[in-house]
């Protein structure tokens, strides 16, 4: 069992020993540290934090612990209940709140949960801010309020609808064209809050949703990471229903993937490529994704006369570079769309609306749209970490072994070859080393990944 503290938040498995898992005591400690950090940012009479969660089985328990800890610090709480990560993000500035907490472990299995921490802009904390919270938690430097100064909890269950209103109001979302297209779409909500939000959005856009696993029970019917090997039921449903395409999201609805009308994956990496193609065709500019994302975004950006740059992995790193480069759209190759005209956070609802607008305007099948983009193939593999493994030393050795190649070392080691690349890094969210490769064929990508797995194991003596 595991407790991971990183720029992606406090993430761990439910149950087990304190300080080794996400136990109730750990949830209270880190919520208290966050609330203390927040109050240290500015001195004022009242503070407010928005709290929402995905449909995980442990979600209600963790949310109650977190909210009442904030109440104990004298902080008022807006309880969104079942929500999505992007919905909580947009609600923070709309509520004029001081911050937000999303209780979700994203793509991790049901035994995991996490506290994702937001600032007053509804954006993830940076590394320095996250480190300060860890220091507060480690030192127990928290002081709670007296009885007359406790915070209060106010329930607001309107924000998914408000979020949808915000998406429909975006200038580039072509509501009329989408409605005229009479799309039929199968939605796999993995029995979490995507099963609430995505069908509601589709209905507002005049799209007929066919619901698959859209009951928010938290009992995930398959591995919740939206990858091809987990989506056999969606493929069957798309073909059976003669749908125009399929949509799948992760449990907190910040990752988005599509399936074409034949039941084949559009490619999670190509979610951002397609949305960027649409946005760049209307508002030319630059793009950003992380180092583990496909070269196809670079190609599409340059086709529209823009410039592409890669950031370190992690949403906060992508957002920082997006702001610096003043990009019109960016995100991550795992299906995360970040559209600044909406907000600086990965948002599957925005991605769905942009993709539908593109498809409606082009009047083509999803398979035809995918065939119109550069064809790269990726392999994503992992090596489980063992206690005491010197990951930094392993990556340094790999860097030295490939010093004659083009290297990028802002996040692990990325090695660029003429027609392929490999990225080796320690995960922010799991106790693993990730190995990403991209090449002109799937066989070449898999072979490259296997080669580097063998090399890492040889260096590490495992």
Positions annotated as catalytic residues are 106
Q: Distance between CA 36 and CA 133 in Å, rounded?
A: 8
The DSSP element (H or E) to which 44 belongs, if any, is none
For tokens 């919270």, the residue is: 133
Phi-psi region of 267 (alpha: psi -120 to 50; beta: other; left: phi over 0): left
H-only helix segments in 372-439: 391-401
Q: In the chain, what is the greatest distance between 2 CA atoms, to the nearest angstrom?
A: 66
CA dihedral 8, 9, 13, 18 (to 10 degrees): 140
Among residues 432, 433, 431, 413, the alpha carbon closest in space to that of 423 is found at: 413
Distances (CA, A) of 456 to 61, 88, 449: 40, 39, 11
Euclidean distance between CA atoms 290 and 313, whole angstroms: 5
Q: CA-to-CA distance for 187 and 200, rounded, in angstroms?
A: 11
Question: Is the Cβ–Cβ distance between 108 and 430 less than 8 Å?
Answer: yes
């Amino acid at each position: 069992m595991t407790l991971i503290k990183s720029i992606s938040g406090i993430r761990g498995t439910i149950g087990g020993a304190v300080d080794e898992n996400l136990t109730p005591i750990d949830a209270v400690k880190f919520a208290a540290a966050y609330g203390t950090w927040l109050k240290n940012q500015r001195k004022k009479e009242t503070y407010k934090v928005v709290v929402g969660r995905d449909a995980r089985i442990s979600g209600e328990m963790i949310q109650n612990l977190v909210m009442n800890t904030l109440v104990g610090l004298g902080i008022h709480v807006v309880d969104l209940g079942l929500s999505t990560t992007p919905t909580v993000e947009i609600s923070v500035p709309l509520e004029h709140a001081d911050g937000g907490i999303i209780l979700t472990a994203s793509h991790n299995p049901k035994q995991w949960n996490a506290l994702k921490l937001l600032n007053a802009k509804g954006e993830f904390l940076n590394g320095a801010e996250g480190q300060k919270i860890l220091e507060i938690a480690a030192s127990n430097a928290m002081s709670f309020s007296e009885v007359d100064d406790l915070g209060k909890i106010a329930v607001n269950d309107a924000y998914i609808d408000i979020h949808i209103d915000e998406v429909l109001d975006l200038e580039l979302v072509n509501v009329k064209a989408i409605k005229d297209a009479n799309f039929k779409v199968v939605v796999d909500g993995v029995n979490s809050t995507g099963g609430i939000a995505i069908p509601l959005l589709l209905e507002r856009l005049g799209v007929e949703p066919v619901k698959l696993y859209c009951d928010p029970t938290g009992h995930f019917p398959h591995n919740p990471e939206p990858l091809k090997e987990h989506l056999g039921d969606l493929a069957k449903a798309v073909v059976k229903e003669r749908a125009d395409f399929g949509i799948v999201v992760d449990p907190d609805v910040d990752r988005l993937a599509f399936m074409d009308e034949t039941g084949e994956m559009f490619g999670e990496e190509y979610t951002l490529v397609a949305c960027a193609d649409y946005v760049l065709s209307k508002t030319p500019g630059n793009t950003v994704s992380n180092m583990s994302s496909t070269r196809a975004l670079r190609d599409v950006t340059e086709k529209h006369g823009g410039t592409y740059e890669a950031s370190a992995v992690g949403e906060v790193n992508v957002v920082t570079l997006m702001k610096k480069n003043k990009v019109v759209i960016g995100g991550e190759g795992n299906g995360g769309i970040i559209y600044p005209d909406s907000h600086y956070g990965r948002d599957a609802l925005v991605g769905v609306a942009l993709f539908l607008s593109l498809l409606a305007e082009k009047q083509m099948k999803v398979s035809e749209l995918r065939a119109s983009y550069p064809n790269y193939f990726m392999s994503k593999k992992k090596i489980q970490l063992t206690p005491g493994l010197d990951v930094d030393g392993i990556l340094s050795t790999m860097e030295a072994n490939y010093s004659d190649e083009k290297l990028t070392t802002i996040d692990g080691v990325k090695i660029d070859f003429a027609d392929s690349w490999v990225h080796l890094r320690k995960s922010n969210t799991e106790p693993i080393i990730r190995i990403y490769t991209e090449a002109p064929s799937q066989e070449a990508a898999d072979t490259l990944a296997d080669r580097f797995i063998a090399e890492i194991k040889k260096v590490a003596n495992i």
